[in-house]
Amino acid sequence: MSGGVRRRPAQRRSAERFERLLDACAELLAEVGQEALTTRDVARRAGVPIGTLYQFFDGKSGLLHELAMRHLAVLLARLQERLAAEPVDTWADAAVLVYEESLALRRSVAGFFVADFRDTGSIDTDLVRRIDEEMAARLYELATREAGLPALPDHRRVLLVAITSSDGLLRLAFQSSEDGDPAVIALGARLLRAYFTDVTAAPPVT
């Protein structure tokens, strides 16, 4: 099992059900939030028996993890396209680019902002950690191997701080405005730029 997925579909019909379950999970996450989301409601929205859901996923945590990985793949694809058109020279520029693309997806993709459930009473800290760790690793690989940015001191810790901070900034921006408070969004970009400028100029933290 990988990330809460019991079995990945091999046949077309099963693959369609798998994707419908993830679509339904995303829709409900956006509508009711992580705390109120249930596997039964996801199965009902997807139009499949609850048993089918558990054939593929180990439960709610598995659904959310797989949804986050699907969204991460979308984010990475968008970043690759953006980097091809607008190469970056610094980690600060790269961080703002990731922030901008995350913002665009938050506005256009249902349930994209999985991190909305960080501050609920039923937070799954292990799920959040796994999502953040995977995101940090994939973004670092993209930035260093594909964008050609230099190695980042203590990169795992530095990127986890940036990811958690970005989640908080975007959550704050969307609390006061359906489309995101532009002033908060702009301040968030400035904060990330200043953070990475400082981190890349300073010696590693030990």
52 lies in some domain: yes
Q: Tell me: pLDDT of 124 over 80.
A: no
Question: The pTM is what?
Answer: 0.84
1 lies in some domain: no
Q: Tell me: pLDDT of 114 over 70.
A: no
Per-residue pLDDT tens over the stretch 62-73: 898 899 899 999
* Residue environment code for 53-82, b if the CB has 16+ CB neighbours within 10 A, otherwise e: beebbeebebbbbbbbbbbbeebbebbeeb
In terms of residue numbers, what domain contains 172?
12-201
Reading the block at residue 127, the tokens are 């799920």
Write down the pLDDT at residue 121: 47
5 lies in some domain: no
112 lies in some domain: yes
Write down the pLDDT at residue 204: 54
Domain count, the chain: 1
Per-residue pLDDT tens over the stretch 48-101: 999 999 999 989 988 988 998 999 999 999 999 999 999 999 999 999 999 999
3 lies in some domain: no
- Give the CATH number, domain containing residue 47: 1.10.357.10
Q: Distances from the Cα of 2 to the Cαs of 5, 45, 94, in angstroms?
A: 5, 24, 29
At 8, phi and psi to the nearest 5?
A: -95, 135
- pLDDT class of 32 with cuts at 50, 70, 90: confident
78 lies in some domain: yes
42 lies in some domain: yes
